[in-house]
Structure formats: C-alpha cells, structure tokens
Structure 1
C-alpha cells in the first residue's frame, strides 16, 4: 500500500502522523511511504530522517492526497484537505465529528473511508488511541491552568501549591477518566487541594486507591458540581462520551458564581466542550474571559508539546496503520472489531451511531457498510 503523510496545517499544530521509526516499520512490511516536505520539521524531524527510513519526500500536500491509498494524519482534515480526499481512499486520524457538521458533510461527500483514532476500542473497553493524548492533555491542563491563574495572565493570582502559611489552590476535576486522572497526578504533584468528580462509583473507588487520600472524590450531581466549582481556583473539564458531543455540565449561571480570575480548562473542547460558554481557541490565543472566568479551550492541547505527543501517539496508532496497510482496510476492519469501531464514515455513509444521532444522519452499522 502507498501511505501518505501530509504536513499538519491547523493553527500551531506541529505533530506529524508518522515518525521515521513508524515509516521504517511500514517499509519493512513492504509498503511505500510518501511524506510532505517539512512535515516533521517543527519537532526536529527532518526530510533526511524520513529518507533514511525509506520514505519518499514530496513537495505538496496535493501530491500526498492524490497518490496515497491511505492518508495518516494527526488532526481532523481541514476543509481544503477534505476536498482532496477521494472515493475509496482511507483516512486514518483524529476526527471528532460530533461537534463538527461541516467536516462530517465534506467527508460524507468525499466517498472516503474515515477511521477515527478516538473511537477505536480495546478488549478492556478503553480507547487506546485516544489515551496517550488524553494523558498529555490531562497533564497539560494543570500546567496551562497554573499559568493562567497568574495575575499577569488575567487570573486571580493564586499559586496552586501555596506556600507555608498560605493555603494551596483548589483544583476541581470533572471526570475521572484518563485525562482527569493525569490532571490529578500533576495537580497533586504541585501541592494543590484536589477533588475529582465522577458518576461511576467503581471508578471513584479506584481513584481513592490510586491516590491514597491525597485526592478527594465526589459523586457527580448537578448540586455537587455547582458546590465545588463555585469555590474552585482551577476547574478542569475532563468528561468524555466516546464519539458524542460533551455534556454541558457547567452553566453560565454557575460561572457567574465563581471567583473573578478563576480558571476553567476545557479538555473536552474537541467534542464541543463541557461548559455553555466554551468555544475552541488556539495556542496562538489560548484564553478568553466569560463571566469573569478565564477559559482555556485549546482544541489541540497536546500540540503544545508536539514532540512528546507525536511519539506517544505513534506508539498507539502504528499497529492499526500496519493492519490497514498489510491486509487492506476491508479485511483489517473485518478481522478486528476494535479497529472497526473506529470507522466513522464509509463511502458516503455515517457508520458511528453517536455521530449520526448528534448530526441527524441515517446510521449505517459498520458491519452493514462493509458487507460483513
């Protein structure tokens, strides 16, 4: 199979779909790889590194999309990239379609086969291709939130760890999944007063065991969310409904009751965000203020630590890329229900139920679309 890697074009996005070691693995399996020039330069991976791994360097994204049988990316294709996709071409990347009707429409019209990293599953019910970026985003949320709390950044001037004689900052994390857990690890490490909210009692018990009393846990209800959020210095929204739009757990009325200069970091922004006031921002302009609360809603948070993120992502996505290339997408998806769960769009049909439900498309099960 001929695999293509374009340079990412989203604002301040420096990650790349394949690193040289992944290219070498694909070449070792008998495949061809073409990489757009300078695709990895932003994280110190240069064209000569790809050539040494066996790739061919091409000069334009148009050539990548025109020649490749499978396009491997990081972020969702932008409109001009969607228009370069063709019927039968495989796209393997993050998509986050539920809050993005324009992208969904363009992918449906393209006739491509769009496989979303974020809905691929594993035998334990996890989301293994989302997990590494959730880990990064969780850890970054505290780093970014701590910076935004500084007075010079518009925050209320609170040091999360406090100092002797002064109480630490209060951090409330909504969602005890992968990103929420890693946010808690960072916040605890900085010495903050940390509470995690979740709606799963088994998960709350696990978190209690993991943190051994260094983190408070609370069952998430409307009342408890409001009680904890209005008194917090930093709130992290880390809720996830796989493939679907995030629930709006933080209302404008709650925000009005928060401290002026408190910070809200919305990790769920890729799925539309979990506050009524959230809208996507970029690393160039990461924050805005609503109701006196500083919002950090960067839609590609891991892009801020692009080198770490790229290698972490490749560790997770390479097995799927190899399966798709080695077997062809039909057999690869037929053989592996977990990879098949990543199929969101197939030749004009929406094959992921949450996306179809949220955006008003007829849902066609992946098995039916593939003729299994």
Structure 2
C-alpha cells in the first residue's frame, strides 16, 4: 500500500450553524494506536446532521464547531490499522455504531455500550471525524468496528446506521412487542419507517402517523396496517385508539420525530399499562423539554422508554434477521447521492418532506 499520510481528501465541512457546508480538501485521518482508518463506500444522510447544522443540542452538551466533518452512518473498507488493534485487519469491510464506546465502563461491561460513560458521537466532535469524506477514522476499533457479512450491499448497510439501529434496539429490546400487539409510530421519516419495518417483522399491527402522504404510503409498503394523516383528523390519539380493540389504545407507541406534539400524541395513544418509546430528539423549540400528562401516566402505569443507538453485540442479531429475509433495510433507502449533494440534502431536512433514507455513495 502506498503511504497515505500528508495526502488530502475531499470532505463535507461544517462552516457554522445554518451556514452552507462546503466541499473542501482536508488531511486524511491517521489511526490512533487502538483505531483504524476506513475508506468510505457509503454513508447515510441523517436528520441528526440537520439538528447539528442548525446548532441544536447545546442543552445536552453538544456544541458543534466550524471545521467538523459530519456523517455517522458509514460503511467501508479498512485501509489502515493502529498497532494495538487485534480483531480488525486491513481489507475488512466494516460499519460501526454512531455512538462509539470504550468497552470498559460499567455500562459497556453490562452489555449497554450505547450509553457508555465515555461515549463519543461520530461526526459531532473534532476527535471523532465523521464519514462525509473519502476516509474516516474509528476509535477503539476492537470495540466499535463491526465486520459486515459477505454479500451485503454497501448502500443497504449505510441504511442500517443510527436511524435503523436505534429503531431496532428500541422496538426489539427496550419495549415489549409481541405478535398481534398494536404499535403506533408517530413520524414516518427514516427512523419512523425503520421502526415500522422492525415492528412489522416482530408480528405487530402497526399504525403510521404523519403529515406527509408520500411518507404514509411508504409506511404501508413497509407493513403499516393503518395510517393517520395527522392534519386531517381532530384528535390523533383518539384516531389511533379507534383502530384497536374496544378503542382502548395501543400496547406500544413510538415518537420518531421529537417535537412536543408527537411526543404527547404518542403517550396519549397508549392503553393502560402501555409503553411509550422515545426515539426522536427535540429541536431548539423544545430545547430538550416536553410537558407530559404525568398524572395519567401514573394512574394508568404507562411507561416511558428512550432508545439511543444500539450496542455493538446487537448487530449480529440484526444481520441474522437480514440474512433470513425478515428485515430488509434497503427498502427504506429511497435515493443515493454524490458527496457534492450532501450539504443541500442535510439542509432540506428542515422542510420535513423527505421520505425514507438518503445515502451518499459517491466520494
């Protein structure tokens, strides 16, 4: 292999909140002693990048600085490894969780590496560059790099990034979804459609809720048995409950958008004893805070769960379901774009009319 150090590469570079991102030539990454460098094959384009571009999330300690390279749903081929890496080799095809972990904290040891005490979100801090670039680094590679099974298409693997993984972890592991249960998903963007697909794979009766008719059509394609166009009904929770036995409500309801209205609608769609799953993160309008019907939640013993990414060990389960044909993340990918179109695509998430998951696969 030719020496790569000192050679530049193309990347999408953050210029500041709501400033147009630019394609720039930057230095290629070098691996830490426990890290790797990966040549990018594909990277999902995510609403979380839009949040970061808008300057959201200072209330959770993330303050994006100009010069960052976003992109946290990657797949690629390893081109360089650090001297302490044992499990990964050059030439391996890998992906990784967006919230990289160190493998040593109390949560990692308990199998909950997605909430590692020293978690580093990829592409939102300068020491863990993202993958809107020709190459990207992965820290603590033996912990975070996930070998991709042979035969999986790169675009499909990028579709497994934070949206699909967070939905899978949440629906399959955080809440209790049994065959025949009713599950409502409020917000049918990339993560919402992923939640619908996973819940359908688990045998649930899924209800999709959104303002966008095209998104609702996609929800039905992915397994939703009922849909609600939220701006055409007076009371979304009551409309959702009306589909269920005796209109008692759904066993599980998911807020996949993260605005106050969808969060409250989700909680209010539940039956007594039901479970709310929060996947969507809030915007600057909510600032991380949403008021909820707490007394009703107490009296009905409605439960509130959050899902943040996915621990590395759950990838094997997801890959098995893909191999068996139970899951097909490629069905949620709706377009592929070159690197030059990433800035415009990220900014367009603010229009709330994107359907499915866009993936960048030309660098």
User: Which category describes the TM-score, using the shorter chain as reference length?
Assistant: 0.3 to 0.5
More helix by share: 1
More strand by share: 2
TM-score, with length taken from structure 2: 0.43
| Structure possessing the higher radius of gyration over alpha carbons | 1
